[in-house]
Amino acid sequence: MHELAITQSVVDMVAERTAGRPVSLVRLEVGRLSGVVPDAMEFCYELIIGGTALEGSTLVIEQTPGAAHCRSCGRDFTLDELILLCRCGSAEVDLIAGRELRVLSVELVAQSCA
């Protein structure tokens, strides 16, 4: 399950960038063609965040569709799986979206001023 290693990297990066301040929400973009299973990543996230600045935070995953461009006919089209074949029959296809895996935003726990 590579989702465990990927999720650990995300948690480590967020903890480092937020300098240990409590985090309430992490929003990720995960492309449908990235090979990452969002449900597995959410499960791993809950296992990993205990004892970190992210403990109690929520992980929100936005899945983006795959997209490609056909060099033969010029058509742009969406992909649900990694079969790079245009409706025109051409395999002269460039993948232009769907493999993303990035942190979109992080929200910190609001701290009251005393």
| Count: domains in the chain | 1
Structural domain boundaries, residue 51: 2-65+96-108
pTM of the model: 0.84
72 lies in some domain: no
Q: Residue by residue, what is the 3-state secondary structure of 3-69?
A: HHHHHHHHHHHHHHHCCCCCEEEEEEEEECCCCCCHHHHHHHHHHHCCCCCCCCCEEEEEEECEEEE
83 lies in some domain: no
80 lies in some domain: no
90 lies in some domain: no
Q: State pLDDT tens for residues 77-107.
A: 999 888 889 999 999 999 999 999 999 999 9
89 lies in some domain: no
27 lies in some domain: yes
**What's the pLDDT at 26?**
98
Can you tell me which residue has the tokens 């590579």?
Answer: 2
For residue 6, what is the domain's CATH number?
A: 3.30.2320.50
**What's the pLDDT at 11?**
97
82 lies in some domain: no
